[in-house]
Amino acid sequence: MTNATFDTPRADAEIHKVRGYWGNVANRLSYDYVTLFFAGIIVLVLLSALFAPWLTSVDPNKPQMIARLKPIGTATHLLGTDELGRDMLARLLHGGRVSLAMGLVPVVLATLIGGMLGVTAGYLGGVTNTVIMRVMDVFYAFPSVLLAVAVSGMMGGGLLNGLLALSLVFIPPLCRISETATAQVRSLDFVEAARASGANTASIIVHHVLGNVLGPVFIYASSLISVSVLLAAGLSFLGLGVEPPTPDWGLMLSALRQAIYIDPLLCALPGVAIFITSLSFNMVSDGLRQAMDVRQ
């Protein structure tokens, strides 16, 4: 009998070849328990916001002045009531809808618009690149918080204007990331070969460039979700975001600050929701970045 020998590096290479890139990413994530834990928190927050009307039958906008500022743990109000006697649990659940929308929608819109502009500038180069990137540099001159406040203040409060203001804030950095990645890819051999074979610009971008650009753009965009949640809460806190009585975590935090000396724990609930959600998105983004790193 002969003992079987195994070539471990070759076996690992075969496994990676069978799985493919995204299979390897999923495999790395399956062993990253920290990322999975925070991803579970995000799923829980999303589901609680989505099914808020079924999780609580209390109207989040109905005031009850006789029951104002009830403490946490009250029999009829599990998480107490706010300064107008509205149920805090109901408002936190329904407020998650607005806060998550303000965190996700601007990033998606900015990824689509900024990514398209960046790929166009990076691939075409020349005058097109100069015009697009110089316009983006103008927005880079302003800090993101100041730009969001200025745009939202100019357009006025409201959910739609807040979404537009945050989208405008995130377009320049996403455009820069996609432009840099595209400029690196456009000079590679397989792109030159496609160009030499007679493929048109649109075909080359769709079939050869986007696949190599989406990775870094997606990773960076995922890191902006936590920033978007914080900025949206800040706009609402300043009165430039969602208008009352719509439940929103930032707006709730602003309204309850008057009662901080009466029940500080109750006043901290919206801030805790903002912190946990933002932290979870940030940790998941870091996990995705490590899992998608081809050098791992």
Output the pLDDT for position 6. 45
| Cα 53 from Cα 247, distance rounded (Å) | 13
Tokens describing residue 118? 């960046």
Full-model pTM: 0.85
Tokens describing residue 295? 């050098």
Determine contact, residues 91/247, Cβ cutoff 8 Å: yes
Output the pLDDT for position 227. 92
Residue 15 falls inside a structural domain: no
Give the total number of structural domains in the chain: 1
Residue 19 falls inside a structural domain: no
| Cα 42 from Cα 36, distance rounded (Å) | 10
Residue 128 falls inside a structural domain: yes
How does 175-198 read in b/e, with b if 16+ C-beta sit within 10 Å? bbbbbebbbebbeeeebeebeeee
Determine contact, residues 95/61, Cβ cutoff 8 Å: no
Determine contact, residues 193/132, Cβ cutoff 8 Å: no
| Cα 270 from Cα 258, distance rounded (Å) | 14
Report the number of secondary-structure helices (H) and strands (E) in the chain: 12, 0
Per-residue confidence band for 5, with pLDDT thresholds at 50, 70 and 90: very low
24-63: pLDDT as tens digits: 888 888 888 999 999 999 999 999 999 998 988 888 888 8
Provide the 8-state DSSP code for 43: H
Determine contact, residues 90/204, Cβ cutoff 8 Å: no
Determine contact, residues 277/44, Cβ cutoff 8 Å: no
Q: Which helix (H) or strand (E) holds 222?
A: helix 210-237
* Alpha carbon of residue 138 to chain centroid: 24
Q: What is the residue range of 219's domain?
A: 35-291
Tokens describing residue 279? 């932290």
Residue 8 falls inside a structural domain: no
100-152: pLDDT as tens digits: 999 999 999 999 999 999 999 998 888 999 999 999 988 888 888 888 888 88
| Cα 205 from Cα 296, distance rounded (Å) | 27
For residue 135, the domain's CATH number is: 1.10.3720.10
| Cα 53 from Cα 43, distance rounded (Å) | 17
Residue 89 falls inside a structural domain: yes
Cα dihedral 33, 36, 37, 39, rounded to 10, equals 160
| Cα 157 from Cα 180, distance rounded (Å) | 35
Residue 65 falls inside a structural domain: yes
Within 13 A of 41's CA, how many CA atoms are on the CB side? 17
Provide the 8-state DSSP code for 78: T
Cα dihedral 61, 163, 178, 25, rounded to 10, equals 10
Tokens describing residue 296? 């791992």
Residue 282 falls inside a structural domain: yes
Output the pLDDT for position 140. 82
Residue 200 falls inside a structural domain: yes
- The reply to whether omega before 245 is within 30° of 0 (cis) is yes
210-245: pLDDT as tens digits: 888 888 898 899 999 999 999 999 898 888 888 888
